[in-house]
Each structure stands twice: as C-alpha cells, then as structure tokens.
Amino acid sequence: GFKRERLPQLFVFGQATRYGQLHGSGSFSTIGVSFQPTALKSMFGLNANELTDQSTCISQLAKTSLTEQLLSCSSTQQQ
C-alpha cells in the first residue's frame, strides 16, 4: 500500500490486493490512467506482478521528461 509515503508527481501503482487510502492537503488536480497488465511490459519493461501493492516513480522507469511535458500543458485535454 501507500504506507504514509509521499508519492511522486507521476507514478505507476500496481494491482492492489487490499484497500488503501490517499490523503492530501491543499489544492491539487489528478489524472488517472488504467493500463492492462501487459502494457507495463511494453511501455516500461516491467512485469505487472513486480508492482503488486506498491508504486514506483515513472521517471525511474522511462528516460523521458513526461512529468515536465504534462505539467506544461495548459488543459486537461492536452494532458
């Protein structure tokens, strides 16, 4: 689960086998994308079972500036 950790701006969370909660403060926006398990292998070279009940920062998996690209968009549609 999340275990009270501070999550990065852009992360992948694997299959959850139990309920969890996210807590936030202040103003923020969020976008969620649900991938098929096989997509993680083709996109990030990662087997889906490696992320069961845990998360990892996308910048550690992909050598791109995806976070900066998303943050520089002026609308949710562009993101």
**Residue 59 domain-assigned?**
yes
Q: What is the pLDDT along the chain (79 residues), one digit of tens a residue?
A: 556 678 888 888 888 888 878 788 888 878 888 888 888 888 878 888 888 888 888 777 766 677 677 778 888 787 7
Domain count of the chain?
Answer: 1
Q: What are the counts of helices (DSSP H) followed by strands (DSSP E) for the chain?
A: 3, 2
pLDDT value, residue 1? 52
**Residue 36 domain-assigned?**
yes
**Residue 57 domain-assigned?**
yes
**Residue 38 domain-assigned?**
yes
Compute the CA torsion angle 52, 55, 57, 60 (nearest 10 deg): -30
pLDDT value, residue 19? 84
pLDDT value, residue 64? 65
Domain of 49?
11-71
